[in-house]
Chains A and B, each alone.
Chain A
Amino acid sequence: MFRARRRTSLRLRLSPPLMFMGTCALLSIAAAQITAAAPFRQPASAAAADGTTCPAGATLARAAATRHTSGIATALDAILDAGVYTGQALTISGAGRSTSINLPAESFVGKQMGDALVYTRFANGKSEVHLADVATGCDTIVARPAGVVRSAVLDPSAAAVYVHAVSNPARTDLGVTRYALDGSAGTQAVPPVPDDPDFGLTFGTQLGWSTDGTALFVQSCGAEQCRTRVLDLTSYALATYADAGQGSIVGVTSKHIVTFAACDGSPCPVVSIDRSSAAERVLAQQAISASIDATAGGSAEATITTPAGTTEVDQ
C-alpha cells in the first residue's frame, strides 16, 4: 500500500494533550502514537478518559467552531493500492499524539472552522456527513444524505451543514441540501446544476462561503470550465455565473466572485466577476497563486502572486 501525502492548510496548534477516544465502529485507526482504541468519540458515549462527554451535533458544532485550539495539525494522505486510489487517511496530531481515520475512496475532508472539521464518506451504499471536534476527539454523524455524498461545509454560524451529493448509481447531480444540526430533516438549498452541453459532465463541485458569511457558493466544473451559483442567505436569491472561461474559484466576497481562468495549471489569469452586473475584470494575467481574505470593516482583499510579485486588490 502506498500513501501519497497531501499537505493541507488545516493546521492548528493545540496545547492540551489530545485524548482521541471513542467507540465509532465505522472508523478505523491507521496511525500510531495514540493511546486510545479509536480516534473519535461518538456523542452520548460514556464519559471518556478525560472526563468529558461528547455533546450532540449542534452543541458540538458551536463549541468546536468557536474554539481554536493551537498545536493541532491535520493532514490527508491518499491511500493507493498498487497504483489505485482506494481512499484517504485523515491524520490529526498534536501534543505528541496522532490519530488517523481511514476514509473510503468516496470521501471528502473539509476545511476546519475553529476546531470543527466536517468530513464525508460513502461506503456500502450509504452516505454519512461527520462533524468532528479535532481538539476533543468528539465525532458525530450529522446527516445521512441520499445518494453519494461528495462534499459538505459547515455554515458560518455552525447551525447547519450544506451537503452536495450525486445520485447512486447514475451520479446525476442532486444539488445542495441543508441539514440543521438539531436533527431536523434536510431541505434543498441549491437545486441540481442544470445540464448544459457547454459544460458537459461535472467533474468536481466545490462549496464555500463568502468572506462575509452571507452567501454560499457552489462551483460546478466540467472538463473544460466552471460555473458558479451563489445563494444569498439573506434573500435566498440564487444567482448563476456561467460565462465561458471560468476556472477554479478563489473566493467570493460581498461584491465579487474571484476565480482563475479555465486553466489546468499555472500561471493562469485571475478574474473578478461583479456579483451584481456579472461584469468581468482580469486582475492578473499570469497568476501563480491567489487567495481572498476578509479585512477589517467587512471588506475583502484578493492577494495575487505573479512572477512579477504579489499584489493586493480590494474586492
Chain B
Amino acid sequence: MIRICGSAFVATVLLALCGGNALASSPTPASGPTWNPNQHVDYRWKAGDEPPAWMKAAINAAAQDSNDSRGAKAAVLSQSDSGSSWIAYSADIPTTWAIGYTVRSIPSNFTMRLRPQGYPLDWGTLRWCQFYDSPPTGCYDAEMIALHEFGHSQTLDHPDDADVDTWTDTVMHWAPKTKSKAGWNQHEFGPCDVARLQIRYDPLTNSTPYSTCLDLDTDMSLSASATSVYSGGSITFTARLRVADDASWPLLASNPLSGRSIVIQRRAVGGTSWANVGSMAVLDDNGRYTRSLTLTDAYDYRASFAAPNNEGLEGTTSPIVRVTVYSSGGECGETKSLIERHGSFYTC
C-alpha cells in the first residue's frame, strides 16, 4: 500500500500495516481485519454496472486463481447472484488514476470496481487483453488485475518493488505489467503473497507447503517405542515435526508439519558421522512420522528434516536417541539403563 523508500511517514505507515517485516523478499504487506478461516465470500455483479461476458470470465477465473493458489485459510471466493459483495465494471472509481479499486469491509463483504475498456487516461486509452481475439501489446490482463484486486480483498496491500527480488514473487505490485512484459499475465498469487496469507490466516492444512517467501525454523522430537531391545528385536521410532515455537509469526508457531520427508539416521556409539537408515512414514496429519527398525547393535539415532527447496522451512534434526542392544537372552532388568536420550536414562 505504501512505498518504503523515503519519508518517515511512509515508514511509519508501513510498519503499522505490515507487522514489521520489511526486508527484501519479505511477505507482501497487509492490513486490517481478516476474514474468518476459509470464509466463503460470494460476489455478485453490481446491478447497472455488470461486466461484459469476457470480463466476467476473467474475473471468475481470477477468483479461482485465488482459491487455488492462496495456500492459506483465506477467503474462498465465488460468484453468486445473491452474494453480499459486488463487482462493478464502471468508470465511477474514486480516484482519477486507478484501473481497479477495492473496498473491503471484512468480515461482511468487499466491493471491486474495474474501469471499462476504452476509458481514456492521461497517457492513453485503457485496453483489456481479454477484449481482443489477438490482444495487442500494452493491454492489461484482466484476470491478473482482478486477481490483484482479490488480493486486496484478502487484505493484501502493495509491496515496495525495491524489496521484491523477483517480479513474480507477488501480484500486488503497484503498477502491474502490461503485455508483453515479464509477469504481465501471472494467474496465481506469488510466494510472498501466499506467505502473508499464511501469516494472517494459517496454512490450509498441516501438509500445505509453506511459502518460499518465509524462512521458518523447525523443531523435531524423536521417541522410541521401547527402552531396551534384544539383538534382532524391533523398535518403533516416532518423530514429530513442527514449526519452531518461537517463530516470528504467532499464528504459525508450533504448527505441526505433516507430509514432509523425514529420514532416520544413526551413528555408532561414540562416532561422529551419521548415515541414513531410511525414510520415516507419515503417521498422521498432526506432524508425526514413524519407522520401525530391527536392531542388532547399539547406535545413536536421530530424525533429520532437510530444508526443502520448495518451501520456506529450515531443516532440523531431532535430539539423539541411544538404543542399547543386548545379546539374546540378556535380562533387561539387570542393566537399568538401556536407552539414553537427552542425557536422561530410561529404564526397562
Contact = CB atoms under 8 A, between A and B. Distances in A.
Interface of A: 3-7, 78, 80, 82-86, 88, 105-106, 150, 166, 171, 173, 200-206, 220-226, 243-245, 247-248, 261-269, 271, 280-282, 285-286, 288
B97 A226 contact: yes
Given A201-B123, A243-B10, A286-B31, A224 B5 contact: no
B2 A245 contact: yes
B121 interface: yes
A224 B92 contact: no
Nearest to A263: B1
B55 interface: yes
A182 B107 CA distance: 56
A271 B8 CA distance: 12
A83 B116 contact: yes
B9 A281 contact: yes
A226 B1 CA distance: 13
A224 B3 CA distance: 9
B103 A265 contact: yes
A264 B145 CA distance: 12
B157 interface: yes
28 contacts: A4-B89, A4-B90, A4-B91, A6-B92, A78-B92, A83-B55, A88-B91, A105-B118, A105-B119, A166-B122, A171-B124, A201-B123, A203-B123, A204-B121, A220-B122, A222-B175, A224-B3, A224-B175, A225-B174, A244-B2, A245-B3, A245-B7, A245-B9, A261-B13, A263-B158, A264-B98, A267-B104, A288-B103
B119 A173 contact: no
Contacts of B4: 244
B94 interface: yes
Nearest to A122: B120
Nearest to B175: A223
Nearest to B11: A245
Contact of B12 (A85, A224, A267, A282): A282
Interface string B48-74: 110110110000000000000000000
Among B4, B5, B10, B51, find the residue whose CB has the most chain A CB atoms closer than 10 A: B10
Interface of B: 1-10, 12-13, 16-17, 31-32, 48-49, 51-52, 54-55, 88-92, 94-104, 115-125, 131, 149, 152, 157-158, 174-176
Given A223-B176, A288-B103, 10 more contacts: A85-B118, A202-B97, A204-B122, A226-B97, A245-B13, A248-B96, A262-B174, A264-B98, A271-B9, A286-B31
B109 to A, nearest CB: 13
A259 to B, nearest CB: 11
A106 B120 contact: yes
Nearest to B91: A78
Contacts of A202: 97, 122-123
Contacts of B158: 224, 262-263
A156 B279 CA distance: 79
Nearest to A82: B52
A223 B174 contact: yes
A162 to B, nearest CB: 16
A165 B293 CA distance: 80
B112 to A, nearest CB: 8
Nearest to A203: B97
A108 to B, nearest CB: 10
A262 B116 contact: no
A264 to B, nearest CB: 4
B48 A203 contact: no
Contacts of B97: 202-204, 221-223, 226, 248
B124 A282 contact: no
B175 A200 contact: yes
A83 B48 contact: no
Nearest to A223: B175
A247 B9 contact: no
A121 to B, nearest CB: 11
A247 B95 contact: yes
A222 B94 CA distance: 15
A7 B94 CA distance: 11
B38 to A, nearest CB: 23
A268 B92 contact: no
Contacts of B51: 83
A4 B49 CA distance: 5
B152 A105 contact: no
B123 A171 contact: yes
Contacts of A173: 122
Contact of A85 (B3, B17, B101, B117): B117
A224 B174 contact: yes
